[in-house]
Structure 1
Amino acid sequence: MSDALDLQKSDALTADLVRKPLHEQVQERILSHIILGTWAEGYVLPPETELAKQFGVSYGTIRRAMAALTASGVIMRRRKTGTVVTGRTPHHSMSQFYKYYRLHTIEGRLASSRTVMVDACHRNATQDEAEKLELPARAPVVYMHRLRWVDDRPVMIDRVTLPLSLAPDFPVTIEEMPTLIYKWLLEHHGLRLAAIREKLVARLASPEDLKYFDLPLDTPRALLDIEEVSYDSNNRPLVAMRHAALTDDHCYINEIR
């Protein structure tokens, strides 16, 4: 079956377009395919007339969506080829959050990490979590506690919370928990990351932190705390995270375009 026919049958592209102006919703559907890699760099999109049929919208709506994506550099028009995915990072580097966490070496190289889950469960939100996620008191949430390892040693502690109301089918066991949370939310529920608010604080590691990092309890170590709350395109809180990273060999780089 051709890519065009696959696209026509895709749930992501045939979902009811009811929340926003049609051209913005179409734009988000197209962007989702690019972020997830379904339409990778160099992919040639179907003609606009064909896209209009597949989305069930007017030609003018498709033209507006494509014009916005072209202006942001996500796609480009090539003579004799058509409209092509450029591979440029769309919308303030948000696509980076779907692929990896932005931990770098002191020299500035991206650190390749692996995730080890420590704990995972469905439970009631704490007061702090409810405030950050704008939830009622004791609302049900998904909670994850995990470590990030680089070069066979832990360098970051993650604590992650998301409202169960946004994803009632989110896995509950450690074995099933997705490593790439934003990618999972986009693929399973069409929830696209639109903004992230971060707060960075330096502090000394607690005895519990030192235990997870497998470090001596009697030696002070500096940590970088990164508290973040992410939001979807409707400015609704998606996920609250708190990261605690060792600063001896790694740093945090945030690039906004």
Structure 2
Amino acid sequence: MADPADTEVNEEIGFKPLYAQVRERLMRRLVSGEWMPGMLLPSEIELARQLSVSQGTVRKALDSMTADNLVIRRQGRGTYVAEPEESRILFQFFRLTPDNGAASFPDSRVVSTGHAKPTHTEIENLRLAEGEQVFRIERIRMLSDQPILIETITLPASRFPDFDHLTIIPNNLYRLYSERWGITIGSAEERLKAIAASSRDAKRLGCNEGEALLLISRVAKDLEERPVELRWSRCISRDIHYAVNLR
């Protein structure tokens, strides 16, 4: 039987199922920084009391957030805000798997960093304002010490002030975004295309110039669906593949 509370309408949010309205209200707490990564959330009963809805409606909203890897339920301990270092979050955004082995997360080595004037593609994908600069990172990523891809990461400089002051750029950038600038990556759009290795990429990846590479372009977005990162990954595909589960 449907929860009677699900027929309620909150005019502030709009005409949506009540659990979706509750999800949006909970999401605001993530966006505002009221709920930080790793934080234990109030109980379903307490949230229901705060929001004046049924416990079942809160549970349905949290189920939706769990499915999107925004919160994590731990049996007997409660519901927590997902941390970017959690393996499930890492592999939500890293889909390359060795042909003959289990999935593992790659190490990285930074090649170069610096501010730059954005290209037209960067302006379009990151929705940059006129005159806004970007910060670019180029790094090589490795599995078992073997280079598998080289990636160029572009960030809006206005959203990541003092990035160039970092003495060490960690492997897990999404955790860095969250902890230092309060920016949580909630979703990403990717496109895949086959390209030939340039002489520059071939030298850094240890492959032949002209060898087939997989180009993955990604626009990562925050919890408010604003683009915050443009990433181009050129991947050697001879021993790895791109894996995704369709449900």
TM-score by length of 1: 0.68
Residue in 2 that maps onto 1:178: 170
Secondary structure at the aligned position of 2:213 is classed as strand
Residue in 2 that maps onto 1:189: 181
Native 8 Å contact 1:119 1:145 kept in 2? yes
**Structure 1 position 190, deviation (Å):** 3.1
- Pick aligned residue for 1:235 from 206, 225, 232: 225
**Structure 1 position 230, deviation (Å):** 1.6
**Structure 1 position 83, deviation (Å):** 4.1
Residue in 2 that maps onto 1:147: 140
User: Could you tell me how far apart the structure 1 residues matched to 2:123 and 2:54 are?
Assistant: 38
1:255 aligns with 2:245: yes
* Cα shift readout 1:139-180 (whole Å, capped 9, x = no counterpart): 2111100000122221100100011122223x2157332332
Structure 2 alignment gaps of length 5 or more = 1-12, 15-20
Residue in 2 that maps onto 1:163: 156
User: Could you tell me how far apart the structure 2 residues matched to 1:230 and 1:198 are?
Assistant: 9
Residue in 2 that maps onto 1:116: 109
- Pick aligned residue for 2:198 from 202, 206, 210: 206
Compute the RMSD of aligned alpha carbons: 3.9
Secondary structure at the aligned position of 1:235 is classed as coil
1:24 aligns with 2:19: no
Residue in 2 that maps onto 1:126: 119
Native 8 Å contact 1:120 1:173 kept in 2? no
- Pick aligned residue for 1:222 from 196, 212, 226: 212
User: Could you tell me how far apart the structure 2 residues matched to 1:77 and 1:188 are?
Assistant: 26
- The 5 A counterparts of 1:8-87 are 24-27=24-27, 29=29, 36=37, 38=38, 45-48=41-44, 58=51, 60=53, 64-71=57-64, 72=66, 81=76, 83-84=78-79
Native 8 Å contact 2:27 2:223 kept in 1? no
AA matched with 2:242: Y
* Cα shift readout 1:56-103 (whole Å, capped 9, x = no counterpart): x5454997554311355556697xx57456x9xxxxx982367x7332
User: Could you tell me how far apart the structure 2 residues matched to 1:149 and 1:35 are?
Assistant: 30
Residue in 1 that maps onto 2:10: none
* Cα shift readout 1:17-43 (whole Å, capped 9, x = no counterpart): xx997752424646999995x25xxxx
- Pick aligned residue for 1:245 from 209, 228, 235: 235
Secondary structure at the aligned position of 1:112 is classed as coil
Closer/same/farther in 2, CA of residues 27 and 172 from structure 1, 3 Å limit: same
AA matched with 2:43: P
User: Could you tell me how far apart the structure 2 residues matched to 1:193 and 1:61 are?
Assistant: 29
User: Could you tell me how far apart the structure 1 residues matched to 2:129 and 2:27 are?
Assistant: 32
Native 8 Å contact 2:192 2:217 kept in 1? yes
User: Could you tell me how far apart the structure 2 residues matched to 1:176 and 1:229 are?
Assistant: 24
